[in-house]
Amino acid sequence: MSGRPTRTRFAILALLFVSVVINYLDRANLSVAAPLLGKQLGIDPVRMGLVFSAFGWSYVFCQIPGGWLVDRWHPRELYAALIALWSVATALLGFSTGLVMLFALRLAIGVMEAPSYPMNNRVVTTWFPENERATAIGFYTSGQFVGLAFLTPVLMYLQIHFGWRSIFVSVGLAGIVWAAVWYILYRGPLSYPGANAEEIELIRRGGGLVDLSDRNMAAEKQAFQFRDLGRVLASSKLWGIYVGQYALNSTLWFFLTWFPSYLVEYRGIAFQQAGWLASLPFLGAFCGILCSGVFSDFLVRRGFSLSVARKTPIITGLLLSTSIVGANYARTPHWIIAFMGLAFFGNGLASITWSLISTVAPRRLIGLTGGVFNFIGNLSSISVPVIIGALVRGGDFSLALTYISGLALVGALAYILVVGKIERLPDTQGAAARSL
């Protein structure tokens, strides 16, 4: 090999980025519509909390089977099918007539989106060497923030001029188109015509698992076994990461569900003003995660251990997220948004946690480990909307923000005290099976 490596992996990264933007618009569009939707359909805060949590119920409990699917189906076909299906369900939300239909469709969206982040992690583990992986994960994960930052005002505009139903129909149609684009463009490294041998060798030499998408992996793929699940539940290292992810996602799910309602209903900010104010913390999170991935990979290239390079931004970000409690003492919209922005910047800074799954999970069980990780982390998508809905029944949001702040502190302590050294866990069962 004498040529220069191609850079096809960055085109794949762009595909992941857009997929995440659409993914999170489908998760968060209900929060934008909620103030007007709730009034029109007669849904009070407690029941709205239940509607917010519906996505989480199905999303969480489909994580482990979703991770199992990711280990066994090619990302090209599986991801395209999932994007199309959850986008149809999103569009149908625009025709909702009451609580039951809203709840059922949000459940359906959660089922279809469940494999998405294990899928993203598999694609990055396939396409990127270790010293670029945190940057790659940071970039595609930033799609969840930048999409909401720039598109929340657009969704507000659609709602003001065309009604809340237009939000769901528009986002759903965009997702259906994107499903076709993904299917047409995505391939694994060994079958992608634009990736030369030098790029494939660069990825492989750097720790990328370029053959994960190749059909020759079929010999290693076995039926689901509970001992594999036990393997990824028995590690204290992984449990530290799981608890940290629950804490990290708790802040995220506050912003994806109650944040617009908090500004409009509990802090008295005008609906039109809330649109652009609500976008600012998402921009902060976007900046945080871009800084996180670039800084973490910089430390790897400078010779720092993976433990230092990966855990430093995560712990720092979780500690910064505790600042959300400061909004309880703010009296003006600008100070409220300043505390929210700092907390969400910290959330973004800590959001390269998927890079740990790429590095720590047993090679054969990357999808399953990612499913368990996302299952436990996204239990917050069930608990946070419901608990906040209960805590604010009296019209006071201060206990809810204190609760979110405390969880962020618990997450930081999990990484400091429990996770330990970042290194791949051995797959003794898989090794034994291959030796037979």
Average predicted confidence (pLDDT) for the chain: 84
Question: Domain-by-domain residue ranges, the chain?
Answer: 11-210+231-425
What's the pLDDT score for residue 92? 94
- How confident is the model over 81-90, as a mean pLDDT? 94
Phi, psi at residue 205, to the nearest 5°? -65, -30
Do 269 and 335 touch, CB atoms closer than 8 A? no
Longest dimension (CA), the chain: 69
What's the pLDDT score for residue 324? 95
What's the pLDDT score for residue 275? 61
User: Which one-letter amino acid corresponds to residue 64?
Assistant: I
Cα distance between residue 51 and residue 29, in whole Å: 13
What's the pLDDT score for residue 214? 53
Which has the minimum average pLDDT: 101-105, 180-184, 222-226, 417-421?
Answer: 222-226
Q: Per the CATH hierarchy, to which homologous superfamily does domain 11-210+231-425 belong? A: MFS general substrate transporter like domains (1.20.1250.20)
User: Based on the number of CB atoms within 10 Å of its own CB, is 80 exposed (0-12), middle (13-18) or buried (19 or more)?
Assistant: buried
pLDDT tens-digit map of 192-245: 888 888 888 888 888 777 776 554 444 344 555 777 778 888 888 899 999 999
Q: Which residues contact 407 (CB under 8 A, 6 or more apart)?
A: 246, 247, 250, 251, 380
Of residues 428 and 37, more confidence is placed in 37
Q: Of 403, 429, 80, 85, nearest to 227 (Cα)? A: 429
User: Which one-letter amino acid corresponds to residue 416?
Assistant: I
pLDDT tens-digit map of 362-388: 877 777 787 788 889 988 988 888 888
Q: Of 385, 368, 383, 379, nearest to 115 (Cα)? A: 368
Sign of CA dihedral 78, 80, 81, 82: positive
Cα distance between residue 166 and residue 172, in whole Å: 10
* Full-model pTM: 0.72
Do 254 and 388 touch, CB atoms closer than 8 A? yes
pLDDT tens-digit map of 415-427: 999 988 888 877 6
**HEC per residue, the chain:** CCCCCCCHHHHHHHHHHHHHHHHHHHHHHHHHHHHHHHHHHCCCHHHHHHHHHHHHHHHHHCHHHHHHHHCCCCHHHHHHHHHHHHHHHHHHHCCCCCHHHHHHHHHHHHHHHCCHHHHHHHHHHHHCCHHHHHHHHHHHHHHHHHHHHHHHHHHHHHHHHHCCHHHHHHHHHHHHHHHHHHHHHCCCCCCCCCCCHHHHHHHHHCCCCCCCCCHHHHHHCCCCCHHHHHHHHCCHHHHHHHHHHHHHHHHHHHHHHCHHHHHHHHCCCCHHHHHHHHHHHHHHHHHHHHHHHHHHHHHHHCCCCHHHHHHHHHHHHHHHHHHHHHHHHCCCHHHHHHHHHHHHHHHHHCCCCHHHHHHHCCHHHHHHHHHHHHHHHCCHHHHHHHHHHHHCCCCCCHHHHHHHHHHHHHHHHHHHHHHCCCCCCCCHHHHHHHHC
Q: Is the pLDDT of residue 360 over 90?
A: no
- How confident is the model over 357-362, as a mean pLDDT? 80
How would residue 429 be classed by pLDDT, with cut points 50, 70 and 90? low
Exposure of 403 in the CB half-sphere (CA atoms within 13 A): 19
Q: Is the pLDDT of residue 282 over 90?
A: no
What's the pLDDT score for residue 217? 44
pLDDT tens-digit map of 24-61: 888 878 888 887 888 888 887 778 878 888 888 888 88
Cα distance between residue 267 and residue 397, in whole Å: 9
Exposure of 397 in the CB half-sphere (CA atoms within 13 A): 25
